[in-house]
Amino acid sequence: MNKNQFWIPAGIASLFVLMCAAPGLTQAPSTAPTPAQTPQAASVAAHPKREATPPNDFAGLEFTDEQKAEIESIRKDIMSRKETVAKDQKLTGDQKDAMLLGYTRMEYGMIYRVLSPEQKREVSQRIRARKAADQATQKMQPPAK
């Protein structure tokens, strides 16, 4: 599969997850009070704990002035979205974490589209190397009970 074709479905899937995770963000606020929701206990074993944010695979790249301007625009847009999520009182902590991680992934996908083909190859190599290292450390660790 072409690498560029991967990001389109990934972005759509991210948006779908975000829309499902926070239906209150897409609806107009109502004046009627809503009953408090009881949080559902999630199984810790079902969802292994992941990093809070994905690693920055773009560190150390040399960007052109146009790329810098577009990346800055992307970061400002995503930062405003993250601030909105952080201030939302309707979301639980887990929902906020999921949405913030989703926005970070969207940001990285948008930045990836700005890169030149050479930069994309370099970032792809970094990602492959990081994933290979992660798999190697996972194989060395004994399975959790």
User: Band of the pLDDT at 12, cuts 50, 70, 90?
Assistant: low
User: Band of the pLDDT at 75, cuts 50, 70, 90?
Assistant: very high
- Rg for the chain, CA atoms, rounded: 18
**Percentage above 70 pLDDT, the chain:** 60
pTM of structure: 0.57
d(CA 2, CA 66): 25
pLDDT at position 3 is 59
pLDDT at position 48 is 46
CB 97 within 8 A of CB 82: no
Instruction: Residue 135: count other Cβ atoms within 10 Å of its Cβ.
Output: 10
d(CA 96, CA 11): 18
Which residue blocks in 22-116 are alpha helix, DSSP H? 65-87, 93-114
Instruction: Residue 84: count other Cβ atoms within 10 Å of its Cβ.
Output: 12
Alpha-carbon dihedral angle through residues 45, 46, 48, 53, given to the nearest 10 degrees: -140
Across the range 86-98, mean pLDDT stands at: 92
Per domain, the residue ranges of the chain are 1-21+61-114, 117-145
pLDDT in tens, 119-141: 999 999 999 998 998 888 888 87
Tell me the torsion sign for CA atoms 113, 59, 18, 16: positive
pLDDT at 47 > cutoff 50: no
